[in-house]
Amino acid sequence: MKRQLHLNLFISGKGHHEASWRHPDSSGLASTDIRYLQGLTQRAEQGLFDSIFLADQLAFQGGGAQIGLEPLTALAALAVSTKKIGLIATASTTYTEPFNLVRQFASLDHISKGRVGWNIVTSWSAPAAKNYGYETQISHTDRYAKADEFMEVAKCLWDSWSDDAIVDDKKSGKYIYRNRIRTIDHKGEHYSVEGPLNIPRGPQGWPVLVQAGSSDTGRQFASQYAEAVFTAHMQESTARAFYSDLKSLVKSRGRAQSHCLILPGLSPVIASTESEAKIYSEDLNGLADTNEGLARLSSRFGGTDFSHLPLDQPLRPEDFPDPATVESARSRTEVIVGVVRSEKPTMRQLLAKMSGARGHYVFAGTPEQVADLIEDWFLNGVADGINLMPPVLPKMLDVFIDEVVPLLQAKGIFRTSYEGDTLRQHYGLDRPNNVFG
């Protein structure tokens, strides 16, 4: 089959620009109003998107404009108000137990009839650690070690039921084959889980496994487990290097490279002319709060105070902690320091870049320019698809669907109708075999 572009809608607040909530084009509904999420998801389904994605934070951070519903709860509501589109949510391996989370995702896969994905995170936030009873943040290395064992347990629990375990034969009086349901008897360094799961295997076997860490450790984890990867890059060159490196790692694991899709974030401001798009972008940046931007940058670097740095003086890598020493979002800090090293922006300029999409690729242009950019990335070793991050919602999603999607379809790289019913089918992924047979 001809390779097809994948589109995921990343829903966050009233849009991915930190000042989106102030813009007149943003929704008047609260981000905690389920009708808001339902409307965006249904609109993305009309645009034939593969999936939508809800991120999560386990602590209150920043000015509060990005607050939202707990994502697994929200997915259940979205599952019954849509029919085809995939539904992905973030959940942490650091601050939950495997049995609970595996059971929740199995339930969601049944509710959605096979449209669920799990964005696996290890939770870098220091305030989150304190919300779960830890005095200090768990180290980057230890979080990933725990996540490895978590995934081993999760897969065994999903597979603890054979696909044919349920008989449901009224005449014979037999409901299940008990010998087709097995304990897993896991005893490891971090978890002790007997099993089996108390819900049958879902339509997809497992949810689609998604990952977003781009550090060296994160890439190794993704190469082993991830079937789709959301990644943040502020420059095309680093996105291309990441794509090549991760695909090589996937191949070295003996996995098919097509079974690990890479979807870099793209936050486009789209208007009928390039100048109009840039004016729109500048207006958005003018609504941003410098102090809030500094606070968000500080949180990325584990609480480092940047307020002493002049706003209009070129930055140096030495102005930032070494990303290798950061125990929070290490991959994002590497992106930020990389931009400082290559572009030498002022703090004001860096905050403007960050305000658009927190370290993802921002772009302002016409529908044709956006479609050409996506096509170039797709055909030239940068992306298997796009994690679309509209700066203002629902405005920029509507413009993308109405004006960019038809151009991608005309180029022959994006679907004109859904051909499958599950997220695995949308992504071209196999249903995993049950390890127990």
CATH number of the domain residue 17 falls in: 3.20.20.30
Pairwise CA distance, residues 429 & 378, whole Å = 18
pLDDT number for residue 67: 82
Within-domain flag for 81: yes
Which of the residues in the chain have pLDDT under 50? none
| Model pLDDT, residue 216 | 87
In a domain, 182, yes or no: yes
Note the pLDDT of residue 286. 87
Indicate the pTM of the whole model. Answer: 0.89
In a domain, residue 135? The reply is yes
- For residue 200, is it within any domain? yes
The identity of residue 376, as a single letter, is D
Place of tokens 């096509």: 375
For residue 375, is it within any domain? yes
Strand 186-187 to 192-193 pairing:
antiparallel
Residue 117 resides in a domain: yes
* Structural domain includes residue 342: no
CA angle (372 as vertex; 366, 375 as ends), nearest 5: 145
Q: Quick check: is 175 in a domain? A: yes
Q: Which two tokens stand for residue 429?
A: 């992924």
Find, among 124, 120, 128, 57, the residue nearest to 93 by Cα: 120
Instruction: List the domain range (segments joined by +) for residue 117.
Output: 6-274+359-427
**Exposed (0-12), middle (13-18) or buried (19+): which is 149, by Cβ within 10 Å?**
middle
- Looking at residue 348, its pLDDT comes to 83
CB neighbour list of residue 56: distance below 8 Å, 6 or more residues apart: 70, 71, 89, 90, 91, 92, 121
Domain count, the chain: 1
In single-letter form, the type of residue at position 413 comes to: I
